[in-house]
Amino acid sequence: MGYTIAQKIIKAHLLSGDMTVGSEVGLKIDQTLTQDATGTMAYLEFEAIGVPRVKTEKSVAYIDHNTLQTGFENADDHRFIQTVCKKHGIYFSRPGNGICHQVHLERFGKPGKTLIGSDSHTPTGGGIGMLAIGAGGLDVAVAMGGGAYYISMPKMVRVNLTGKLQAWVSAKDIILEVLRIMSVKGGVGKIIEYGGEGVKTLTVPERATITNMGAELGATTSVFPSDEITRSFMKAQGREEDWIELSPDADAVYDEVIDIDLSKLVPMAACPHSPDNVKTIEEIGPQKIDQVCIGSCTNSSYLDLMRVAAILKGKTVHPDVSLAIAPGSKQVYNMLAKNGALADIIEAGARILECACGPCIGMGQSPNSKGISLRTFNRNFEGRSGTRDGQIYLVSPETAAASALTGVFTDPRTLGEAVNIPLPEKFDYNDNMVAAPASEEEMDSVEVLRGPNIKPYPSTAPLAENIDVPCSLKVGDNITTDHIMPAGAKILPLRSNIPAISEHCFTVCDKDFPARAKQLGSSIIVGGVNYGQGSSREHAALAPLYLGIKAVVVKSFARIHRANLINAGILPLTFVNEADYDSISQGDELSLPNVRQLIADGKTELTLINKTTGKEIPVLCELSGRTKDIILAGGLLDYTKHNG
Ligand code: MIC
Ligand code: SF4
């Protein structure tokens, strides 16, 4: 039996386990990336592990999220990251150089290699045939120290692309179609591989838009073959020597196949408040809009922005619309500046933002009350824009630019003849904004600079013999990490200060939660399906840890968040019968008697007793040998310190 692309990369990097679906595999990690909002914690964890110099082939730290500096916090954290990287062998991409995924794809990613990043959109690297996976900061820290990264062996899904996109229909519309078909939880436990004749019609930046937003499927990652198109992209980046060919074996077996005829797709939007709430622009109709934002790691490539510039050229943004544009990298920005496209964008009235995440994570440009904002981003969760009742629609750059001119939802196919922007033969690359680390001889003399905002990792304790605590919060389905640990300009500067950031934990759902949890001392959270979808932020586990959460009992978990809970030493439990969700109310006294012994004995089915009602509820605690030991030790940091 042949292998899929992902199986080939996994096989070549397998350190432990066998490749049976669902069983745990340990992978050798070639590259890591961090960004600043998760990076400070990841490097504090790396320091705690105590390995002097990274053991990966390439580790890069990007500054792209916390770039709005309204106080000392972000600047201090950036200085910490810069110095800690210099000391320990990590490349440092300076603020202004661009969004981690865009820059990594341009400058460092390599087909056939493994990459983990402390950001859920790390799968962007799948656009050039990498096995690129989003992970919690602590997992990235362990990988930097040379440790394996563990996933449960995913199922393989093949998305078979045929035909060719019509003019003005975009790669964004392809991934919106996949989201429409599979939903935000349809990819959990799966790797999505793209294949078929249609793949040959897509450039690397288009492929990367698709693998990037595959994160919204809940998938472990997404991957394209590495072919001649990949080779010409790498060559245009001056990195042809990094290219290898990669394709699935002819007899590779997929667990699921989805067929998409590209020629049938039309411009679409993900409507509020979920990336899978997809409608065509035609179905939405010519509704009035207030704001358009173009950028983010999904759609801020040179090709994206050249198309936008061509649409805006010689026109003016509608008077009722604010158009903001953030190029994805310095390379993109520079090329637009040199070829005059930036002038066309400025002339049309766009507000140019720095090369960073910006509005995607609520760092400015929050829309007006109830404002309708069209964004080329990947997430439209409630409140994420910074405006609680903001109505965010996720669209292609073409739809965004066309609508910015008319002031209403506009199908870009009405723009007339298509613009043809070819991939440049040579990108305007240089790495002058990437600082190399100190040499091995010099590293000891580098001083790591820490600001007063940096507080230590929360204290942990080995798993208790019994858990007897109340339910401090009950939430519904599809809770995102933006609910658990909101981001935005006001809260993000607290990412290195767990006590302070914990004051905002779950406040989107219940503003009294942090105070209640603290008053209770220890407690349990109850949730529905796909709990913890969205980002990789381990703060969504560390804040609950700080607030005394001992276990989270839900109908099902999103992958990265479940791993982060285990890393934080919080028990992840699922209901055996989903209907039992209804038998727990907030405030009920819950008990897991003899839990430590049962888990140590390898029991996977436990009994959760609702002492308030007397009901006995069967729950699953599915831990492997390694994750079991992590939970018993009180988290991955303690486990790693003791097990090396
Ligand atoms: C996001 O898009 O939600 C983020 C902000 O990039 C997060 C990381 C974080 O919360 O710092 C992610 O995607 O993992
Ligand atoms: Fe940044 Fe948005 Fe991409 Fe997250 S999704 S890395 S916030 S641009």
What separation in Å is there between the alpha carbon of 357 and the centre of ligand 2? 5
Residue 284 resides in a domain: yes
Is the domain of 51 the same as that of 26?
A: yes
Tell whether 437 is covered by a domain. Answer: no
What's the domain range around 546? 467-643
Assess whether the C-beta atom of 536 lies below 6 angstroms from ligand 1.
Answer: yes
List b or e across 322-334, with b for residues whose CB sees 16 or more CB atoms inside 10 angstroms. bbbbbbbbbbbbb
Distance separating alpha carbons of residues 602 and 621, to the nearest angstrom: 9
Nearest CA residue ID for atom 10, ligand 1: 537
Looking at all shown ligands, the one closest to residue 492's CA atom is 1
CA of 378 to the centre of ligand 1 (A): 11
Do the domain assignments include residue 456? no
Residues 228 and 312 in one domain: no
Same domain, 301 and 390: yes
| Statement to judge: residues 248 and 323 lie in one domain | no
Count of domains in the chain?
3
Residues 402 and 517 in one domain: no
Pocket lining: 119 vs ligand 2, CB cutoff 6 Å: yes
| Same structural domain, 250 and 315 | no
Euclidean distance between CA atoms 274 and 57, whole angstroms: 37
| CA neighbor of 176 nearest in space, from 399, 373, 422 | 399
Domain with 331 in it: what CATH number? 3.30.499.10
Smallest CA separation from ligand 2 atom 3, residue? 297
Q: Which of 99, 101, 121 to mutate to test the pocket of ligand 1 (most atoms within 8 A of CB)?
A: 121
Q: State both tokens at 244.
A: 């290898």
Closest ligand 2 atom number to CA of residue 360: 2
Minimal-distance CA residue to ligand 2 atom 1: 357
What spacing in Å lies between the alpha carbon of 99 and ligand 2's midpoint?
Answer: 8
Q: Is the domain of 279 the same as that of 246?
A: no
Q: Is the CB of 99 under 6 A from ligand 2?
A: yes
Residues 258 and 314 occupy one common structural domain: no
> Which ligand gives the minimal distance to the CA of 297?
2
Residue 107 lies in a domain: yes
Residue 120: Cβ-neighbour burial (10 angstroms; 0-12, 13-18, 19+): buried
pLDDT of residue 642: 78
Q: Which residue has the tokens 């997430």?
A: 379
Which tokens sit at 90? 């990590």
382 and 478 fall within a common domain = no
| 94 and 197 part of one domain | yes
Question: Does 371 map to a domain?
Answer: yes
pLDDT computed for residue 246 by the predictor:
98
Q: What is the pLDDT of residue 644?
A: 60
Asked whether residue 389 is assigned to any structural domain, the reply reads yes
The answer to whether residue 418 sits within a structural domain is no
C-beta of 474 in contact with ligand 1 (< 6 A) = no
Task: Say how far apart CA 471 and CA 119 lie, in whole Å.
Answer: 30
- Give a yes or no: residue 419 inside a domain: no
Ligand 2, residues 296, 300, 384, 495: which to mutate, most atoms within 8 A of Cβ? 296
Q: Is the CB of 492 under 6 A from ligand 2?
A: no
The three-class DSSP label of residue 408 is strand
Atom of ligand 1 nearest to the CA of 492: 11
For the domain that residue 633 is a member of, what is the CATH number? 3.20.19.10
Last residue of a domain, one of 225, 244, 264: 264
Q: Is the minimum distance from the CB of 318 to ligand 2 under 6 angstroms?
A: no
Q: Running DSSP on this structure, what letter comes out for residue 238?
A: T
Q: Which residues of the chain fall below pLDDT 50?
A: none
Check the CA dihedral 74-209-392-562 and report its sign: negative
Q: Are residues 546 and 617 in the same domain?
A: yes
CA 194 to chain centre: 20
Closest ligand, as measured to the CA of 561: 1
Answer with the one of 207, 240, 264 that is the final residue of a domain. Answer: 264
- Ligand (nearest to CA of 558): 1
Residues 472, 606 within the same domain: yes
Last residue of a domain, one of 208, 235, 264: 264
